[in-house]
Structure 1
Amino acid sequence: MVNTGPIAFFVPSLTVGGAERVTVSVANGLSKRGYEVDLVVSYNEGDFRSDVGGNVNIVDLGTRRIPGIGIGASVPALVRYLSRRSPEILFSQMTYANSIHMISQVLSGSDTVTISTIHTTLGMQEESKEKFVQWLQRHLAHQSDQFVAVSEGVANSVVEHVGVDREKVSVLYNPIPIPEVQEQAGESVDHPWTDSANLDVVLGVGRLERAKNFESFLRAFERVHTARPDTRAIVAGGGSKRTELERLAAELGIDDVVSFPGFVDNPYGYMANADVLAMSSIHEGLPTVLIEALACGCPVVSTDCPSGPAEILKDGEFGPLVDVDDDEGLAAAIQTTLDDPLPSDVLVERATDFAPAAVIDQYEAFIRNFVSVEDTNNLGSRSEPLSQS
């Protein structure tokens, strides 16, 4: 059992999303290692609610839904939580939640160590609300004891756009539940193309939104299909761009060889049965879809967007990287990968570098840098300062 005060995580809700998935995974991992963990939520709802471990204490702030305010309405309840509970350390997740956390920390006067976690590359935001939130975080940055970035590229963007020293930003990768992904990858997929030995399937997985740039994916695939008529494309995901993407597929003359199944409960089955996964994003943070595909033994190609793909794929060692919006380059990379894919065991081995055990080790080391920790397993007290790599 670890002897320390509560380790807390603040996330708006437990709805399906990358940051939410990571938060639950880290909270569960630390809880299993004996830490007392609070999972603080503005809204106690979402599909990930059932994934929270039994020893993790869910703290529902009971935030009212006020148009235009969003989780800003959580401030009074979060102030009360910090004043009453005074956790040793609190990790807030996502830029808006970070700002709410820092405001609440000031008002509470708590001694809690304040950690702001950044999941996406800053400076790429286009919407006015996103730009305002980034501006707000920059002006509150001095209230955060440390920033956690999910990749080196994200860390560099924090330095540039938040205006903090690099020593104040630590990189902790997202944990990917490799065994669970691989187990689900073995489940059957209800799609005729994945069962055909005569077809090569090019897979895209993600939200159908501008940042994922599936327009480029479709234009690249049109080139691939022209050269290789036995190829098919599956784009799994939901979002506001679906109708627009379906229209583009029709304009390109590939609507009969591109499938849009919408959001799928088990994308890993698709990954295990695809011949290549292509990611065409404009920007990311640490794109878990690439790691998940590797874990399924699926070859990948990706844009070299900020941030994460180059780190995951080790500058092309585990899959080709192409420029953003380079449809011709993406098509060529897909064809090269179809002709000469890396062995599945090589891809799976790379994915294990992001397995939960390794990442939770990193979180423990990080926590020990700020909190005096003792446990019954002789893990020792506070470690040497964590390297700000």
Structure 2
Amino acid sequence: MLRVLFILPNVCGGGAERVVLSVLRHLDRTHFQPILFLTKNEGILWDEIPADTKVFYGMQQGLKLKWHLFEVLRRLLYAARDADIIVGSLEYDSIYLASLAGWLLRRPVVGWTHVEMFNYPKRILIDHVLPRLLYPGVNLMLTVSQGVSQSLERQYPWLKSRIRTAYNPLDLVLIDNKRNETLDEYFQQDIPVVLGVGRLVTQKNFSLLIRAHAMLLARGIRQELVIIGEGPERASLEELACKLGVQDSVRLPGFLLNPYPNMCKASCLVLSSQYEGWGSVVLEAMALGVPTIVVNCLGSGSEVVGDGEYGLLIPPNDLEAMVDAIMALLTDPKLARHYMLKGRERAEQFGIAHRIPVYERLLLEARQSSASGENAG
């Protein structure tokens, strides 16, 4: 049995963290035993950690890694002492720690990148220097889409032979089980709801979605806009809604631990991002029977909807195209039903039974490449 240590910064509720915990829950226990190391002991996803998984942490919440690096590394080495493979489960810091621990303990290392790296924010010195020092120690670098693989190759061409695409698994049973919990009041009203889901950050480009909502109202298309998520852009988004006079029809309920009951009642979901690693929320909406509109953004925009086969694909930063796409789904029941059915078909392609074996094969490949000495810097 392979003991696999997964490193995460925390379990605070991001999409990438949920994906990692889903993989932990579904690895075949006859061949793999997961261990979890949290850089910081904080989060809200504790119930999603498998009961049979040992959890270690490097420091308490409120502390900063740069001031406690040696203590975190000491605790990591203790947690990884019996591990056969170390996985840096998020880009940058988690991979840096995995690479250091792997080098010190002589263990194979797997990195896992969830975002489109070319445009992802970087700390001026650390994230330009450390990848060149520490990424050579990574046996395999997993990415969540072909788009992310390509951006990683452009940024670090010497990693090309070690990059592998492993699409995020979608736990269809979990989603179906959670969809029938309590609804928020604005989803119980007899009015179409356009939905956005994600952190309230510039990358998600929710300002474009609010402008599209305002234009639709001006054209007489009755609907409400709900954006589920929390983040630093809340105030500016609320200000924009007020400026456009749509503050009474734009809802920002914050982060929801279980968004699925609300998501499944939406008329459509819009992914408005400037760049995305994969856009798991699109597949979650598809699994719930919600038609989707996706901006063809850097990373995986077209990939997630199969170049428009499974959802409407629109150009980036194109307000008119977004308005037209939303209007089409709200006013054409036949089109909406078409994408509901195609979306469910797409979601099933990423079910646990299809995706988890890919991760298991890649973990074995990392172990074998280490044993054969293929990890050249």
Q: Which residues in structure 2 correspond to 1:45-84 (within 5 Å)?
A: 45-62=42-59, 66-67=63-64, 69=66, 72-73=69-70, 74-82=72-80, 84=81
Q: State the TM-score, normalized to the length of structure 1.
A: 0.86
Does the 8 Å contact 1:225/1:232 carry over to 2? no
What is the one-letter code of the residue matched to 1:21? R
* Paired position in structure 2 for 1:191: 185
Unaligned 5+ segments in structure 2 are 372-377
Does the 8 Å contact 1:76/1:104 carry over to 2? no
* Paired position in structure 2 for 1:370: 366
* Paired position in structure 2 for 1:121: 116
Structure 1: distance between partners of 2:348 and 2:30:
20
Structure 2: distance between partners of 1:66 and 1:269:
35
Using a 3 Å threshold, how does the CA distance of structure 1 residues 33 and 341 change in structure 2: closer, same or farther?
farther
What is the total number of aligned residue pairs between the two structures? 364
Q: State the TM-score, normalized to the length of structure 2.
A: 0.89
Structure 1: distance between partners of 2:294 and 2:137:
36
Q: Residue by residue, what CA displacement relative to the aligned partner does 1:119-160 show, whole Å, maximum 9, x if unpaired?
A: 10112134535x732542133221111100011111111111
Does the 8 Å contact 1:41/1:58 carry over to 2? yes
**What secondary structure, in the 3-state scheme, does the structure 2 residue paired with 1:136 have?**
helix
* Paired position in structure 2 for 1:341: 336
The partner residue of 2:202 within 202, 207, 210 is: 210
Using a 3 Å threshold, how does the CA distance of structure 1 residues 241 and 149 change in structure 2: closer, same or farther?
same
The partner residue of 2:356 within 311, 336, 360 is: 360
The partner residue of 1:317 within 304, 309, 315 is: 309
Structure 1: distance between partners of 2:12 and 2:67:
15
1:220 aligns with 2:215: no
Percent identity of equivalent pairs:
26
Does the 8 Å contact 2:41/2:61 carry over to 1? no
What is the one-letter code of the residue matched to 1:12? P
1:18 aligns with 2:11: no
Q: Residue by residue, what CA displacement relative to the aligned partner does 1:255-312 show, whole Å, maximum 9, x if unpaired?
A: 1221222222332122211111111111111111101100110001011112223111
Deviates more, 1:42-51 or 1:268-277: 42-51
Structure 1: distance between partners of 2:181 and 2:14:
22
* Paired position in structure 2 for 1:261: 253
Considering only aligned residues, what root-mean-square deviation do their CA atoms show, in Å?
A: 2.3
Structure 2: distance between partners of 1:190 and 1:60:
35
Pairwise CA distance, 1:357: 2.2
Pairwise CA distance, 1:80: 4.0
Q: Residue by residue, what CA displacement relative to the aligned partner does 1:144-192 show, whole Å, maximum 9, x if unpaired?
A: 1110001111111111112324321001111222121122222341223
What is the one-letter code of the residue matched to 2:24? A
**What secondary structure, in the 3-state scheme, does the structure 1 residue paired with 2:251 have?**
strand
Structure 2: distance between partners of 1:123 and 1:156:
10
Q: Residue by residue, what CA displacement relative to the aligned partner does 1:72-110 show, whole Å, maximum 9, x if unpaired?
A: 34223223444x32x22111112221112212333x1x2
Structure 1: distance between partners of 2:308 and 2:127:
34
Structure 2: distance between partners of 1:71 and 1:275:
47
Q: Residue by residue, what CA displacement relative to the aligned partner does 1:346-381 show, whole Å, maximum 9, x if unpaired?
A: 321211122222211111221232336xxxxxxxxx
Using a 3 Å threshold, how does the CA distance of structure 1 residues 72 and 255 change in structure 2: closer, same or farther?
same
* Paired position in structure 2 for 1:178: 172
Structure 2: distance between partners of 1:128 and 1:9:
23
Does the 8 Å contact 1:153/1:306 carry over to 2? yes
1:302 aligns with 2:302: no
Using a 3 Å threshold, how does the CA distance of structure 1 residues 65 and 224 change in structure 2: closer, same or farther?
closer
What is the one-letter code of the residue matched to 2:14? G
Does the 8 Å contact 2:57/2:75 carry over to 1? no
Using a 3 Å threshold, how does the CA distance of structure 1 residues 71 and 345 change in structure 2: closer, same or farther?
farther
**What secondary structure, in the 3-state scheme, does the structure 2 residue paired with 1:224 have?**
helix
Pairwise CA distance, 1:65: 6.2
* Paired position in structure 1 for 2:95: 98
Structure 2: distance between partners of 1:288 and 1:127:
23
Pairwise CA distance, 1:21: 1.2
Structure 2: distance between partners of 1:177 and 1:304:
25
Pairwise CA distance, 1:324: 2.0
Q: Which residues in structure 2 correspond to 1:277-288 (within 5 Å)?
A: 277-288=269-280
